[in-house]
Amino acid sequence: MLFTLFIFLILLLVLVLAHEAGHFFAAKKAGVAVEEFGFGFPPRAASVKRGGTVYSFNWVPLGGFVRLKGETGISKDKDSFSEQSWPKRLLVIAAGVLMNFVLAAVLFSIGYTIGVPQELNVRLPYGARVRERSVQILSVLPGSPAEKSGIQSGDALVSFDGAVIESAGRFREIVQSKKDTSVTIGVRRGGQNFEFAITPQSLPETNRVGVGVALADIGVVYYPWYLAPLGGLRATAVFTGEIIKAFGGLMVNLVRTGKPGIEVSGPVGIAVLGGEVARLGFVYLLQFAALLSLNLGVINILPVPALDGGRVLFLVIEKFRGRAVSPRVESLVHQVGFSLLLLLVAYVTLHDVLRFFR
* Domains of the chain: total: 2
Domain boundary among 222, 239, 271: 222
Residue 2 in this model has a pLDDT that exceeds 60: yes
Rounded to whole angstroms, the Cα distance separating 307 from 72 reads 15
Q: Select the more confidently predicted residue: 76 or 83.
A: 83
- For residue 135, the 8-state DSSP code is E
The single-letter code of the amino acid at 16 is: V
In which band, very low, low, confident or very high, does the pLDDT at 212 lie, cut at 50, 70 and 90? Answer: confident
In which band, very low, low, confident or very high, does the pLDDT at 98 lie, cut at 50, 70 and 90? Answer: very high
Q: Could you tell me the pTM of the whole model?
A: 0.80
Q: Mean pLDDT, to the nearest integer, of 66-94?
A: 85
Residue 208 in this model has a pLDDT that exceeds 90: no
Residue 8 in this model has a pLDDT that exceeds 80: no
pLDDT digits (tens, 9 = 90+) for 12-32: 888 888 999 999 999 999 999
Determine how many CB atoms are found less than 10 A away from the CB of residue 253.
14
**Are residue 161 and residue 252 in the same domain, yes or no?**
no
Using CA atoms of 287, 288, 291, 297 in order, give the dihedral in degrees to the nearest 10.
Answer: -120
> Do the Cβ atoms of 43 and 58 come closer than 8 Å?
yes
Residue 340 in this model has a pLDDT that exceeds 70: yes
Domain boundary among 187, 222, 257: 222
**Are residue 251 and residue 155 in the same domain, yes or no?**
no
**Are residue 159 and residue 85 in the same domain, yes or no?**
no
> Residue 211: which domain range?
129-222
Q: What is the pLDDT of residue 260?
A: 60
- Residue 50 CA, distance from chain mean position: 34
Determine the longest span between alpha carbons in the chain, in angstroms.
85
**Are residue 96 and residue 243 in the same domain, yes or no?**
yes
CA quadruple 292, 240, 21, 303: dihedral sign: negative
**Are residue 87 and residue 180 in the same domain, yes or no?**
no
> Do the Cβ atoms of 19 and 95 come closer than 8 Å?
no
pLDDT digits (tens, 9 = 90+) for 173-204: 888 888 888 888 898 887 788 888 888 888 87
**Are residue 248 and residue 206 in the same domain, yes or no?**
no
- For residue 250, the 8-state DSSP code is H
In which band, very low, low, confident or very high, does the pLDDT at 259 lie, cut at 50, 70 and 90? Answer: low
Supply the mean pLDDT for the chain.
Answer: 84
pLDDT digits (tens, 9 = 90+) for 147-167: 888 888 888 888 888 888 888
What are the helix (H) ranges across 115-198? 145-149, 168-176
Extract long-range pairs of 74-77: CB within 8 Å, 24+ residues apart.
Answer: 74/327, 77/33
Q: What is the pLDDT of residue 164?
A: 86
> Do the Cβ atoms of 63 and 17 come closer than 8 Å?
yes
Q: What is the pLDDT of residue 101?
A: 96
Residue 289 in this model has a pLDDT that exceeds 80: yes
What are the helix (H) ranges across 281-326? 282-300, 308-321
**Are residue 242 and residue 202 in the same domain, yes or no?**
no
Domain boundary among 222, 238, 271: 222
- For residue 224, the 8-state DSSP code is -
In which band, very low, low, confident or very high, does the pLDDT at 138 lie, cut at 50, 70 and 90? Answer: confident
Q: What is the pLDDT of residue 55?
A: 92
Q: What is the pLDDT of residue 106?
A: 95
Beta strands in the chain (DSSP E): 34-50, 53-68, 116-119, 129-140, 156-160, 163-164, 183-189, 192-198, 201-203, 208-210, 213-222
